[in-house]
Structure 1
Amino acid sequence: MNKTININLANTFFHIDEDAYNKLQRYLEAIRRSLANSQGKDEIIADIEARIAELFSEKMQHERQVITFKEVDEVISTMGQPEDYLVDEEIFDDAPKQKTYTQATKSKKLYRDIDDKYISGVSSGLGHYLGIDAVWVRLLWILLAFASGGTFIFVYLLFWILVPEAATTAQKLSMKGQPVNISNIEKKIKESFDDVAERVKKVDYDKVKSNSKSFFDSLGEIILLLLKVFGKFIGIILLIIASTVLLSLFISLFTAGTIDILDTGHGWQNYVNIATDIPIWVMSILLFFAIGVPFFFLFYLGLKILVTNLKSIGNVAKFSLLGLWILSIIGLIVLGIKTATDRAYNGYTSEKNELYTTPADTLTIIMNKDEYYDNVFYGNDLEVVVDENDNKKIYSEKIHFNLKKSTDSIPYLKIDKRAKGNSYEDAKQNARAIEYNYSSTQNLLKFDNYLLTDIENKFKDQQIDIDIYIPANQVIYLDETTKYNLGYRTENDKGYYRTNMVNHYWKMGEDSVLKCLDCEDENDPDSEDNTNTNENDPEETNRINIGENGIDINVKNEEGNEFKMKIDEDGVKIKTK
C-alpha cells in the first residue's frame, strides 16, 4: 500500500504517489540548481512547472487518477535533464547516465500569436501552423472576405473566439513546433530578457531624467504616429480595392474564354463578336492588361506600406508589365478608332407601297409575333438567332411606325431601312442587306416586330422606320401588340402617350391629328365622370333626350346594370356598365 499526496502544480491539482512525488521534487530541485545563475530563473521554473502540469493532464484519464512513478519518468524523459543532472548521482540513482532529449520534433498546435499581431494574432498563429509568412495569410483573409461577400469575416471572428492565445513559453514553443523541454524554455525566456534589455539600452535616460522634452516634440511624435496609422489604413484600403479588381479580372478573363464555346446567344459578348472584327478573347486580354497592370502596382504599393522589408519585384518585371500595359492601351485605342469609323456615316434605302383599303373599312394594325419570340429578350436592340437553314442572323426589334394623313385618297406606306457604315455607300449597302417583311389586306396591316441581317454584315445600328399615310376620315384600330412600336411623331387629340393609344379606335383628321372615337371625353358634360345626374333618382337615370346635339339614352335597372348610348354628328357611342 502506497501513500498518495495532493499537490498544486501550476494551479492544477493532482493526486500523486509518494515515491513519484519525491522523484519529481528532486527533479525540480536539480533544475533550480542548474538555473541558479540564470537570468529569469523564476519565469523559467514557472514555465517548466506549467509544462509538466500539462503533460500530467494529458496522461490522466479521470480526475481521481493517481500520478505514479511511470508517469514521472515519462515526463522527465520528455522534458530532458538539467545541466547538473549527470553529476548528482546520489539524488538520481535510478537516472540514465547520459543527457537525454526525446521528442526532438514536436507537432505544432494552433494558437494566436499575440506577439506579432495586427488585430488578434489569428493570421500570425495560422502562419506558424501552416509554415508560411503571416502577411500571406492576412492577404488571403482579405481576398476571401471580399470573394465571399463578407462571410469569412465571421469565420475570422470564430477563430478569434475559439483559438487560444499563446500566453506561456510552452504554448509559444508548441505554436512553432519546437520541443517543449528545459533547454528550449530556458532559451526562449532568455531571448525575451535579451529583447527587453536591448530596448532598455535604447532609452535616452538623459531626456527622461531632465524631463526637458518640449510640448512641440511630443505633439510631433503624436502626429507622426497618427500619420503612420493612417498610412497603414491607406495600405489596407489599397490592398482591398486592388485585390477585388484583380480577382474580378481573373474571373472575367476565364469566363470570356468560354463564351464562344457556350454560345448562349444573349448579352454583351454577342455585341463584341458582331460589332468588331477582333476575337473576344483578344479583347479580353487587352482589357485584362490595360486595367490589371495599374491595379497590380496598387496592390504592390499596399504591400510596401504594410510590410517595411518587402523585397522588390525587380526592374525586369516592372518594365515588362509597363510594356504590356502600353501595348494594351495602344491596341484598345486602335480598336476604338476602327469601331468608331465603321459607324461614321448614316445611310438608308426607302420603298413606297400602296395599301388596298377603303375609308369605309376599319384598318387594324398589328405587330406580328415572330418565330424567334421565345428565344430572345423582348425589346432587345441586339440578339443572335439561327434561322430555319441554320444560318446565324443578327436580330433587332428596332421597328417604329407613325401614322400621317395622306395627300390624296389612296393610303400607302413608306418603309425606310437605316444603317451605319464607314462611308455613305457602305452605310447604304448595310441598309439594303436588312431583311424585313409585312403583309396587307383590305382591313388588316401586319408588320414584323423584328428585322434580320446576315451576321457577316456586323451590327451597324440597323433599324426600320415606317410611315403609314392614311386618308382623312379613315378609321384605324391599334392592336395591343403595337404598344412599343408606335412612334413619337403620331399626334392625337387626347394627348395620349403612345403606349396609351392602343386598344382604341381612331379617325384620321384633316389636320393629320388622330381623333379618338371610343375614349372618355374629360370635357363632355354627359360623360360618366362629369355628369350631374343623380344616380339615386330613377327619373334622372332612366331618360331619353332628343335635342340639337343628337340623341342621348341612359337606362339603369335595379341591379345596377347601366346602358348609355349617344348619337351625334361624330357617330354612335355606346357604353354598358
Structure 2
Amino acid sequence: MNKTININLANLFFHIDEVAYTKLQRYLEAIKRSFANTSGSDEIIADIEARIAELFHEKMENERQVITEKEVDQVIAIMGQPEDYMVDEDIFEDEPISTHKSKRVRKLYRDIENKYIGGVSAGLGHYFGIDALWIRLLWVLLTIFSWGGFVFIYGLLWILIPEAVTTVQKLDMRGEAVNISNIEKKVKEGFDDVAEKVKSVDYEKVGNKVKDGSKSFFNALADIIMFFFKIIGKFIGIILIVIGATGIVGLFIGLFTVGILDIFHIPGIDFYDLINSANTPVWLVSLLVFFAMGIPFFFLMYLGLKILVNNLKSIGNIAKFTLLGLWLISIILLVVFGIRQAAEHAYTGNVSTEKEFVLIQNSQPVSISLSSSDKDSNSNKFGLSGIVLDYTENGEEVLISEDVRINLRVSRDSIPRIEIRKNANGSSFKNATETAANINYGYTIEGNTIILDDYLTTPKANKYRDQEVRVYLYLPKDTRILFEKSIGNCWTYRASNDQNMGPCAIRDKTWVMGEDGELKCLDCTEDNKENTTQEGKGKIIINEDGVDIDIKGDGDNFKLKINEQGVEIKTNEANSTRSEIDTIQP
C-alpha cells in the first residue's frame, strides 16, 4: 500500500503516490541544479513544470486518478534527462551537438511578438508553415473583394485564437518539441533579445516616450478595433447560444413527445403514415432528424460559449469526432431512406375495365350527375392536397382522393360504354399494378341517368402512391346529354364543346354528341351561338352574316357593320338631331 500525496504543480492539483513523488522531486531538483548558473533559470524551470503538469493532465482519465511511477517515467522520457543537454552557449550555435529533433503538431496561437494588429496573421503563418507576409496580403485582398466582410472574420479569429504567452505555447505554435533543451533555448533567446535591445536603445528617446505616455499608432488602433470586435463578438456569441439552445430544446421536445413517445397525436403523424411508402418507423426518422439538426445546433451553442467564455474547457476530440460520426451517419441514413421512398414511386401501373350499358329511352337525354363523398362534412378528418384519411362504417381506415377525371367521347358504334382506368405508382411494375387494382371507384346507371363518383378510395395499407382514376364515357353520335347540378366537383368533367365553356358552365344545358366527339349546344342563346361578346353598353357580333359592332357611350352611339353589301358606318350625337349613314360599296 502506497501513500498518496497531493501536490500543486504549475497551479494544477494532482494526486501522486509516494514512490512517484520521490522520483519526480529528484528529477526537478536535478533540473534546478543544471540551470543554477543560467540566465533566466527561474523562467526555464517554471516552463518545464508547466509542461510536466500539462503532460500529467493529458494522461489523466478523471480528476481522482493517482499519478504513479509509470506516468512519471513516461513524462521524463518525453522531457529528457538534464544531463542529456549542454546547458551552455554551445547549444545555440548553428549546428547543435544534439541533432535529434522531434517534430510535433503545431497548435494555433496568435504571435503577439511579431504582430502588426492582433498577431492573427503571424500565428496563421506559423500554423501553415508560410511567411506571415503572404497571409497579410491575402487578408487585404479578401477584405477589398468582400467589401470589408473579412474584417469581421479577422475580429472573430482575434477573439477565438489565444495568444502565445508562455514558452511552452510559443514552442507549440512553431511545432517544436517541448523539452528541456528547447525550453532553455527559447528562454535564453528571449534574454539575448532583451540584452541586445538594451545595448542599442536610445535612452533619451525612451525617457521622452515614458514622459509622454504615448503609444504607437498600431497599438492604439489595435486597442480600439479590439474593443469594438469584443462587443460585436459577445453579441454574436449570445445570438449563437440562443439559436443553438432553442433549436436543441425544440428538437428534444419534438423527439420525445411526437417522434418516440407519440404523447401528442398531431395531424402531421397521420400525413407521415400516408406518404411513408417505405414503411420507415417514425421514431427512427425522428431520431435521425434530431441528430442531423441537433448536432449543428449544439456546435453553434458551443461556439457561442467559446466566444463569451475565454477559458471554456474543450469538450475533447473524442466527443467531437463522436458527434461528427453521428451526424454523418444520420445524414447518410436519411438520404438512404429518401431514396427508398422515391423508389416506391419509380414505376407506374394501371388496370382498365370497360363495360357496355343500355339506355332505356333513346329519345330522352342522358342525364349525368356526380356523387361526392362526405369527406368535407367532418372537420376532424385530416386532409392535404385532396387526400383524406377517413374511416368506413366497419371502422377500417381508407384514403380518399379527388384525383378523378371524367372524359366524354363519341362511341365508335351505337352502343354506349364506360371505361374505368385506374393508375398508381410502385417500387416495381407488379407492385404498381397491384396497388392500382386495389383502388375502389363506384358509379351507378339507372335508366338514362348516370351517377359517377368524383372521388376514389383505397385501403390505408396501400399508402399514397399517386393513385388516380380516369373515366371515359363513350356515347353514340346524336345522343342528347344533360349535366345536372350536384354536390360533386364540376371541375371533374372534361368535355369539348362548341361554346368553349368550362366544366361548371356546361351544366343545366342540353347538348348533343357530335360525330367528332365535340358537344353541340342545343339551348344556348343566340349571342352564345354566334360567338357574341358584350361589354358594358355595347356589343360585338361576328357570324356568317359579317361583323356588327355597336358601341354605346354616354350620349354617343357608334355603329359599324361589314357584310356582303359593303361597310356601313352610323354615328349619332345626343346633343344633335343629325344622323349620318355612310355606305361604301365593294
Scaled by the length of structure 2, what TM-score is found? 0.49
- Aligned-residue sequence identity (percent) comes to 40
Report the CA distance between 1:342 and its aligned residue.
Answer: 1.6
What is residue 409 of structure 1 aligned with on the other side?
Answer: 414
Conserved? CA contact 1:359–1:471, under 8 Å: no
Q: 1:300 aligns with which of 290, 299, 302?
A: 302
* Residue 462, structure 1, aligned to residue 463, structure 2: no
Q: Which runs of 5+ in 2 are unaligned?
A: 1-205, 540-549, 553-586
Give the match's secondary structure for 2:366: strand
What is residue 277 of structure 1 aligned with on the other side?
Answer: 279
Alignment of 1:260-409 (within 5 A): 266-267=267-268, 269-272=270-273, 274-357=276-359, 360-370=363-373, 372-375=375-378, 376=381, 380-409=385-414
Alignment of 1:198-217 (within 5 A): 209-210=211-212, 212-217=214-219
Amino acid at match of 2:368: I
Distance 1:223 1:329 in 2: 40
In 2 relative to 1, CA 378–500 (structure 1 residues): closer, same or farther, beyond 3 Å? farther
Distance 2:312 2:256 in 1: 30
Distance 1:208 1:498 in 2: 94
Deviates more, 1:215-224 or 1:521-530: 521-530
Conserved? CA contact 1:355–1:411, under 8 Å: yes
In 2 relative to 1, CA 348–322 (structure 1 residues): closer, same or farther, beyond 3 Å? same
In 2 relative to 1, CA 503–406 (structure 1 residues): closer, same or farther, beyond 3 Å? same
| 1:378-423 deviation per Cα after TM superposition (whole angstroms, max 9, x unaligned) | 7744333222222222332222222222233332221111111111
Conserved? CA contact 1:416–1:466, under 8 Å: yes
Report the CA distance between 1:431 and its aligned residue.
Answer: 0.8
Deviates more, 1:231-240 or 1:290-299: 231-240
Amino acid at match of 1:269: D
Report the CA distance between 1:428 and its aligned residue.
Answer: 0.6
Distance 1:379 1:484 in 2: 20
Distance 1:208 1:413 in 2: 105
What is residue 427 of structure 2 aligned with on the other side?
Answer: 422
Distance 2:414 2:357 in 1: 11
Distance 1:317 1:305 in 2: 20
Report the CA distance between 1:345 and its aligned residue.
Answer: 0.3
Distance 1:370 1:232 in 2: 60
| 1:10-34 deviation per Cα after TM superposition (whole angstroms, max 9, x unaligned) | xxxxxxxxxxxxxxxxxxxxxxxxx
Q: 1:507 aligns with which of 508, 512, 530?
A: 512
Q: Which runs of 5+ in 1 are unaligned?
A: 1-203, 535-577
Report the CA distance between 1:471 and its aligned residue.
Answer: 2.9
Deviates more, 1:297-306 or 1:405-414: 405-414
Distance 2:269 2:524 in 1: 42
Q: 1:475 aligns with which of 478, 481, 490?
A: 481
Report the CA distance between 1:485 and its aligned residue.
Answer: 4.5
Task: Compute the RMSD of aligned alpha carbons.
Answer: 3.5
Distance 1:365 1:485 in 2: 14
Report the CA distance between 1:427 and its aligned residue.
Answer: 0.8
What is residue 79 of structure 1 aligned with on the other side?
Answer: none
In 2 relative to 1, CA 502–282 (structure 1 residues): closer, same or farther, beyond 3 Å? farther
What is residue 53 of structure 2 aligned with on the other side?
Answer: none
Conserved? CA contact 1:480–1:502, under 8 Å: no
* Residue 227, structure 1, aligned to residue 233, structure 2: no
Give the match's secondary structure for 2:335: helix
* Residue 495, structure 1, aligned to residue 500, structure 2: yes
In 2 relative to 1, CA 379–326 (structure 1 residues): closer, same or farther, beyond 3 Å? closer
Give the match's secondary structure for 2:457: strand
Distance 1:526 1:289 in 2: 63
| 1:442-496 deviation per Cα after TM superposition (whole angstroms, max 9, x unaligned) | 3322222332223333322211111222333432315343435525x53333434
Conserved? CA contact 2:538–2:551, under 8 Å: no
Amino acid at match of 1:270: F
Distance 1:331 1:526 in 2: 61
What is residue 449 of structure 1 aligned with on the other side?
Answer: 454
